[in-house]
């Protein structure tokens, strides 16, 4: 109020292939802790195929939907943080000898050129030095290298700007999910090895975190849309009817056992892909640590029995990630459906909203 605050809040804007989600949080310090409360929240479905596998096909439709999310939910804050994922984004964990900052920057460029499957000139590259674990004897620097294709960044930046929003930051989906895990499940993320699996419409993001440190990342071209397309073909029904079935709604002439058979095939394909990633992590992990928790988020995580399917397949504690577990909201101000039924959809947007920008 008197201009003493040095930070400004941003709206976490998750531009997904199926829908657009927006979350604005307000925070306050209470001792050592930072407490969060939902200030605004919104959700709008995109027209079908407006975004396909992370590529914006119908920019006008996406721009209008972003505007609608803000207008319908009276979100006046125009400062936004967005995220990207998919095959245009590369995340690598590398190890380098300890060196001076200037020398390190040159080494990072060299490593980027040799670890990115795209011409270096076509990408934006960033990196972060990971904090070593306590009592670590490793004298090397563990570095998280992130590269994203410039055309992907430009595409998402342009639609955000054309929707008349101020783009403050671009994050990666899995890091936004890690942010929200740290707020809601601090003891688990600090002390355990866990996998967060974000089951979106076109892409499934996976991150494995060991005692707070990210270890492995993967984006799979699997998601709710593929489930819907397969059900549509297998059951000889329309895409819209297949979508209804995924949401648990009845469709004429389709028996429960038909749906179960179709879903089981898709679920098994998903589990097999996840298993490959888990096996790769465990085989490359010299400490022989196992994944102790699985957290599911995204629209497909709401699929009936999916949590049980994961638990049975991997024999690992599996939970649906609740991004609002320790984030309060005014029950009189908001529709409870956001926090009861739709909470798993807001993992990325809530994580993005925890970022603060300097004023």
Q: What is the pLDDT of residues 70-94, one digit of tens each?
A: 999 999 999 999 999 988 999 988 8
| Owning domain of residue 150 | 7-358
The answer to whether residue 1 is domain-embedded is: no
- Average pLDDT on 305-323 reads 96
The answer to whether residue 122 is domain-embedded is: yes
Tell me, what's the pLDDT at 82?
A: 97
The answer to whether residue 202 is domain-embedded is: yes
C-alpha distances out from residue 34 to 29, 169, 190, 343, 358, Å: 5, 21, 17, 21, 17
Tell me, what's the pLDDT at 102?
A: 83
Query: Between β-strands 89-96 and 123-129, what pairing exists: parallel, antiparallel or unpaired?
Result: unpaired
The answer to whether residue 26 is domain-embedded is: yes
- Average pLDDT on 267-291 reads 87
Residue 7: pLDDT band (50, 70, 90) is low
The answer to whether residue 194 is domain-embedded is: yes
Closest-CA residue to 354 (of 76, 86, 127, 37)? 37
The answer to whether residue 93 is domain-embedded is: yes
- Average pLDDT on 136-162 reads 89
**Is 3 a residue whose pLDDT tops 50?**
no
Measured CA to CA, the distance from residue 247 to residue 270 in angstroms comes to: 18
Terminal CA-CA length for the chain: 13
Q: What is the CA radius of gyration of the chain?
A: 21
Give the pLDDT confidence of 202-214 residue by residue, as tens digits.
999 999 999 999 9
Tell me, what's the pLDDT at 339?
A: 93
Tell me, what's the pLDDT at 146?
A: 93
Measured CA to CA, the distance from residue 221 to residue 201 in angstroms comes to: 9
The answer to whether residue 190 is domain-embedded is: yes
Residue 137: pLDDT band (50, 70, 90) is low
Give the pLDDT confidence of 9-40 residue by residue, as tens digits.
899 999 999 999 999 999 988 877 889 999 99
- Domain harbouring 72, CATH code: 3.30.420.40
C-alpha distances out from residue 175 to 36, 84, 355, Å: 18, 10, 11
pTM of the full structure: 0.92
The answer to whether residue 2 is domain-embedded is: no
Give the pLDDT confidence of 241-267 residue by residue, as tens digits.
999 998 888 999 899 899 999 899 999
Count structural domains, the chain: 1
Give CA angle at 236 (232, 240), nearest 5°.
40
Measured CA to CA, the distance from residue 194 to residue 209 in angstroms comes to: 5
């Amino acid at each position: 109020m008197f201009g003493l605050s040095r930070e400004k809040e941003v709206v976490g804007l998750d531009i997904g292939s199926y829908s657009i989600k927006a979350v604005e949080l307000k925070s306050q310090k209470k001792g050592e802790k930072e407490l969060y409360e939902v200030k605004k929240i919104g959700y709008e479905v995109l027209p079908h195929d407006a975004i396909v596998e992370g590529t914006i096909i119908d920019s006008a439709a996406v721009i209008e939907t972003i505007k609608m999310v803000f207008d319908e939910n009276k979100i006046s804050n125009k400062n936004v943080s967005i995220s990207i994922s998919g095959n245009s984004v590369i995340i690598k964990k590398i190890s380098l000898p300890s060196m001076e900052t200037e020398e390190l920057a040159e080494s990072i460029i060299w490593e980027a050129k040799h670890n990115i499957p795209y011409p270096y000139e076509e990408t934006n590259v960033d990196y972060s030095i990971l904090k070593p674990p306590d009592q670590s004897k490793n004298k090397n620097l563990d570095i998280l290298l992130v590269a994203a294709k410039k055309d992907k960044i430009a595409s998402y930046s342009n639609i955000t700007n054309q929707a008349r929003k101020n783009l403050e930051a671009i994050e990666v989906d899995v890091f936004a999910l890690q942010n929200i895990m740290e707020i809601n499940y601090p003891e688990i993320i600090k002390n355990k090895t866990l996998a967060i699996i974000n089951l979106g419409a076109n892409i499934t993001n996976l991150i494995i975190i060991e005692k707070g440190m990210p270890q492995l990342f993967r984006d799979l071209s699997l998601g709710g849309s593929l489930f819907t397309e397969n059900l549509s073909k297998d059951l000889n029904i329309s895409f819209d009817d297949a979508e209804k079935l995924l949401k648990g709604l009845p469709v004429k002439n389709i028996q429960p056992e038909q749906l179960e058979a179709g879903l089981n095939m898709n679920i098994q394909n998903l589990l097999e892909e996840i298993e490959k990633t888990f096996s790769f992590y465990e085989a490359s992990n010299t400490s022989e640590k196992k994944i102790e928790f699985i957290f599911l988020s995204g629209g497909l995580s709401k699929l009936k029995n999916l949590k049980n399917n994961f638990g049975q397949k991997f024999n690992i504690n599996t939970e649906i990630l609740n991004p609002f577990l320790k984030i309060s909201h005014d029950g009189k101000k908001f529709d409870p459906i956001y926090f009861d039924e739709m909470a798993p959809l807001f993992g990325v947007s809530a994580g993005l909203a925890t970022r603060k920008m300097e004023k």
